Amino acid sequence: MPTLIVPLEYDRTKPQPHGVSELVLPWARALAQRTGASVQLVSVLEVPVGLKSLREQALLQALLEDWRAECRAYLEEIARSFPTERPVGILVEEGDPAAILVRSARAVPDPLIVMAAHARAGWRRLLLGSVTAQVIASGVAPVFVVPAHVAPREPVPVLDRVLVPLDGSRLAEGALDLLPLLGSEGWEVVLLHVREGRPRRIEVDVPGDDPAVYLAEVAEHLRAQGYRVERLVIDGRPAQAIVEVARERAVHLIAMVTHGWSGMRDVLMGSTAEQVLAHAPTPVLVRRPVPLTPPSDTAPS
């Protein structure tokens, strides 16, 4: 049973104090209802430089206390909207949002960070930065990302069909380890293998390296755990194919892994997970695999 960590923005200095953060709430409630998970709502106060430089420190402390009180009242109101018998925890802190989320995840059992995000890929993400990207890169916990362009169709979204892209590697299979966090009852898993332009060896011991055989073996293992399974092998570019299949099969979630390392080379080359996040029609459950450092012969030059 996971512990859901749900970051919510409350910045009284902005015209839209909650930004896109509240977009995550329908899915957070659905996950809490589906899994019976504990929930912790987190809000981080990023104090503007102008306020920090006030000479009247007593005035600054009074402003911050007022801000904290407003933020706590906001989170308490949100907490009452969760359909769970478990108490909903509240955390209000000042500092760096990504660092505080990482620390919060390390302090609870089976953390699952559930957050909304502007999904940007490539240079734009590099220039603007992203709390979501930093949290994913930390590898501290799986992250259930609701892209800002995705809107729920129901007040409490349905969660019972998940798309899992697999390329035959042990790395990609790490996405299967995320499924128990969501509960096994009622889930249909759509396994997808995308064949690219040139043949690519499946990195598992299957007869003839046939992706259909490989997916059949994975499907058998999942069915033994209580999942319903559909298998697809198609040709195309991975990110584009994943997004298209997600739309065609009307899945409710995409579960996948990102690269095992980050840095300039990763950003410039792009990653399938990053491109999927930028265009997905549904939330994406993503994790960074362990170990977090690349082999020395693949390090950026």
Of the ranges 72-81, 130-139, 169-178, the best mean pLDDT one = 72-81
Q: What pLDDT does residue 123 have?
A: 52
- The reported pLDDT for the residue numbered 266 is 44
pLDDT band at 184 (very low <50, low <70, confident <90, very high): low
Ordered by where they begin, the domains of the chain are 3-147 (3.40.50.620), 161-298 (3.40.50.620)
137-146 pLDDT, tens per residue? 888 999 999 9
Tell me: the pLDDT tens digits for 291-300?
544 444 444 4
pLDDT at 60: 72
**In which band, very low, low, confident or very high, does the pLDDT at 74 lie, cut at 50, 70 and 90?**
very high
- Is residue 206 very low, low, confident or very high in pLDDT (cuts 50, 70, 90)? very low
User: Cβ(276)–Cβ(270) under 8 Å?
Assistant: no
DSSP string, 141-180: S-EEEEETT---SSSS----EEEEE--SSHHHHGGGGGGG
How many Å apart are CA 218 and CA 168, to the nearest integer?
Answer: 10
Lowest mean pLDDT among 63-67, 98-102, 228-232: 63-67
Global confidence as pTM: 0.85
Query: Which position has the higher pLDDT, 6 or 52?
Result: 6
For 75-111, how does the pLDDT look when each residue is reduced to its tens digit (9 = 90+)?
Answer: 999 999 998 677 899 999 988 999 999 999 999 989 9
Question: What pLDDT sits at residue 98?
Answer: 92
Burial of 201: CB neighbours in 10 Å, binned 0-12, 13-18, 19+: exposed
| Cα 39 from chain centroid (whole Å) | 16
Contact 162, 190 (CB under 8 A): yes
CA angle centred on 125, ends 266 and 116, rounded to 5°: 110
Residue 200 clears pLDDT 60, i.e. is over it: no
Q: What is the pLDDT of residues 265-274, one digit of tens each?
A: 344 334 788 8
Q: What stretches of the chain show up as alpha helix (H) in DSSP?
A: 25-35, 49-52, 57-79, 97-106, 122-128, 131-138, 170-173, 211-224, 238-248, 264-269, 272-279
How does residue 197 score in pLDDT terms, banded at 50, 70 and 90? Answer: low
